[in-house]
Amino acid sequence: MLLRPLRSWASRALRRDRPRSPASSPGSLGAQRWAWPRDKDRENEKEKKSVICVEGNIASGKTTCLEFFSNTTDIEVLTEPVPKWRNVRGHNPLGLMYQDACRWGLTLQTYVQLTMLDQHTRPQTLPVRLMERSIHSARYVFVENLYRSGKMPEVDYVVLSEWFDWIVRNIDVSIDLIVYLQTTPETCYQRLKMRCREEEKVIPLEYLDAIHHLYEEWLIKGSLFPVAAPVLVIEADHDMEKMLELFEQNRHRILIPEDRKLGP
């Protein structure tokens, strides 16, 4: 007796719950898939906007570069979220990682990936966004170095890689230009000793050398991982005065898309 009403109810429920197109059904599964800022959703928004990432070794001059352009009209600057890495509800995963990378490498890099994803996806309010590093270098340089140096187990490396690959496939973390501040490890080491950040006191020259070679493999040789955008290389071993001159000389190549002729 109950079979016919039950079939009728099930048929109505299936018709009601059948997924429709995102445009016609804001609450459907299809619509939820497009909740992330994908390329098509942001196509018009990004037509007149660009995202530039300043990349380079530790103490290569990234902060100086960002400060130089920070007062320029129509530019928003996002510095690397180091304060967050130093204090996660009272814990300092950055300091812990430098003390014991084997134990804390996954912990730090998981949080780095999260905070860099937040940087990439927050609404852009001005025509140009200048970012210190990116989610790409977090994976291709720093996670890769932990794994290659034997300080990250393969299972941790695989899990982080799976997360990164999912992010790149499903979320818009695209960038328009990479400014690579190319320095020698020795120069970075001398600068590190001068600025005396607490966590960096334990960083040896060998670590800076490893980071340098991974940056070179990624951005110069192109033999390691995909390069997310055109690369503008600026030699950054110079003193402050010379570096400010170089930033000024490259202002248009960095900030104006039409002037980014990055060939030889």
Catalytic residue among 132, 200, 248, 258: 132
For the question of residue 132 being annotated catalytic, the response is: yes
Q: Is 211 annotated as a binding residue?
A: no
Q: Is residue 128 within 8 Å of residue 142, measured between CB atoms?
A: no
CB neighbours of 104 closer than 8 A, spacing ≥ 6?
Answer: 93, 96, 97
Is 60 annotated as ligand-binding? yes
Q: Please tell me whether 57 is known to bind a ligand.
A: yes
Which 8-state DSSP code applies to residue 202? G
Residue 87 known to bind ligand: no
Q: Which residues pair with 77 in a beta bridge?
A: 130
Is the distance from CB of 21 to CB of 30 less than 8 angstroms? Answer: yes
Tell me whether residue 56 is annotated as binding: yes
Q: Is 192 annotated as a binding residue?
A: yes
Angle CA 137–140–141, to nearest 5: 70
Check whether 193 is labelled as a binding-site residue: yes
Ligand-binding annotation for 61, yes or no, is yes
* Cα pseudo-dihedral 95, 106, 145, 152, rounded to 10: 110
What are the binding residues for ATP?
Answer: 56-64, 191-195
Write out the catalytic residue numbers. 132
Residues flagged as binding site: 56-64, 191-195
